[in-house]
Amino acid sequence: MIRHLAEGILLVALTVAIHSVVLAWITLRLKTGPRIAHTSLLSISLLLSRIAVLCILAHLAEITLWAGYFYLSDAMATFDLSFYFSAVTYATIGYGDVVPPENRRLIASIEGLTGILMCAWSGGFFFAVATRLFDRGAGAQTADVR
């Protein structure tokens, strides 16, 4: 159990590192990227869409990390099954159609808690960016993320 807890802590640290890098990169692009001369509803929508896609890609990378763990530790028969299990666990959907072996249930629980935290972090980040954009008003300068 101690070993699995240590493995879970390492996976949490790697997950947070991936998320930190992506959100820091987005923040840097918002601060230093090209400026939009006229902020329109379309430009704001495109910017927020790009941020949403980048956040989802970060989550998919994190899910892949956890899936790799489940697959390499022989908790799941195939990587596809590991990825599916990891995705529904990370997103806390938990259909229950695939369950890990008893000795990996603690790690699966840690993944669910980590997924909640990472999704909340992305949601908070997204809300902060959207609030800042809409608070600036229609004629304000806004950064662009490519």
The pLDDT tens digits for 73-102 are 999 999 999 999 999 999 999 899 999 999
Q: Which of 73, 133, 135, 79 is nearest to 103 (CA)?
A: 73
pLDDT, mean over the chain: 90
CATH architecture of 2-143: Orthogonal Bundle (1.10)
**Which percentage of the chain shows pLDDT scores above 90?**
74
Contacts of 41 (CB under 8 A, 6+ apart): none
Provide the pLDDT for residue 31: 86
What is the pTM assigned to this prediction?
Answer: 0.87
CB 131 within 8 A of CB 31: no
Tokens standing for residue 143 = 């950064």
Contacts of 111 (CB under 8 A, 6+ apart): 8, 11, 66, 86, 89, 90
